[in-house]
Amino acid sequence: MIITVTMNPAIDKTADLAHFEHGGLNRLSGVIMDAGGKGINVSKTIRELGGETIATGFIGGSGGVLIEKALSELGIQADFVVIKNEVRTNLKVVESNGLVTELNEPGPVIHKEELDELTEKLINYAKEDTLFVFAGSIPNGVDTSIYKTLIKKVKEKGAKVFLDADGELFINAIEVKPDIIKPNRHEIEKYFKMDYRADEKELLDMGNKLLDKGIHMVTISLGQMGALFLTKEQKLKCPGLKVEAHSTVGAGDAMVAALAYGLDQGLDLEKCVKLSMAASAGAVTTKGTKPPKRELVDELMERVKVIQL
């Protein structure tokens, strides 16, 4: 079973704009509203691929009601902690040239009793056949060591963990050896305190250093250039797929979702890699934070090239 943990969910509003006028009037069109937050996006993609998840985390207010309703309509099981405050709303503006500007709110203040309730919920779900996906930012009132704390607790019960976070959340959580991580190029460069753009060899070296820390799999996303997938046994490289893109919003979440789904289904690494690359490419063709259709993912999988390094 896959449990996605979204501590800072959102109502995602995505809008089209011909050209952003800084300091001026901007008239939006094609406004779409979705239930969002990285873990929720992962659950939506896994559902579209044919898998099942339980989506958990924090929800509150009218936005929380909308998120639960949206997940129910998609057939996704939800088990959130209901908080006193309202969830955030994020605005993503997509210009005609493909440039995306994101205006993300910080999220609600979380109280200790609400955090304790979520912690207990996750511990109860943790079993040897459980894969947790901890993804995205955290709301106000939560310490940046929270993923480290929660990962340690669920791993003590035999569960596996997929981490997709950045900054202090990533740095702290690495200490407790999540099983799978997905930093992008910028995040891994920042972790290793590099002040220049790393080449492929340097990225591989950094990935291997993370494997040496006890992490089972390191995926380094490279945007339109593709991704690197590293385990102790295999080092794979996939060039990016050329597709008609609407925006890159949600591409990383789709990659995480497909990898988690493939691993949960017991697929071999190469099949997981092809599925994740196809799902990620498919996600950039959709509007809002909607997942790519399974038919499109299957079609794109035929075009994925896997290079053994």
Q: Which residues contact 189 (CB under 8 A, 6 or more apart)?
A: 196, 197, 198, 206
* Distance from C-alpha of 169 to C-alpha of 146, rounded to nearest angstrom: 8
Catalytic, out of 199, 253, 268, 298: 253
Establish how many alpha carbons lie within 13 A of residue 287's alpha carbon, considering only the half-sphere containing its beta carbon: 13
Rg over alpha carbons for the chain, rounded to the nearest Å, is 18
Judge whether 248 and 223 are in contact, CB under 8 Å: yes
- 253 given a catalytic annotation: yes
* Distance from C-alpha of 180 to C-alpha of 234, rounded to nearest angstrom: 14
Rounded to two decimals, the pTM is: 0.93
Q: Which of 250, 255, 258 is nearest to 228 (CA)?
A: 255
Residue 241 has what DSSP assignment? Answer: P
Number of helical (H) and strand (E) elements in the chain, helices listed first: 10, 15
Judge whether 111 and 145 are in contact, CB under 8 Å: no
* Distance from C-alpha of 165 to C-alpha of 183, rounded to nearest angstrom: 7
* Distance from C-alpha of 132 to C-alpha of 4, rounded to nearest angstrom: 6
Tens of each residue's pLDDT in the chain, 309 residues: 999 999 999 998 989 999 999 999 999 999 988 899 999 999 999 999 999 999 999 999 999 999 999 999 999 999 999 999 999 999 999 898 888 899 998 889 999 999 999 999 999 999 999 999 999 999 988 999 999 999 999 999 999 999 999 999 999 999 999 999 999 999 999 999 998 889 999 999 999 999 999 999 999 999 889 999 999 999 999 999 988 866 677 789 999 999 999 999 999 999 999 999 999 999 988 877 789 999 999 999 999 999 998
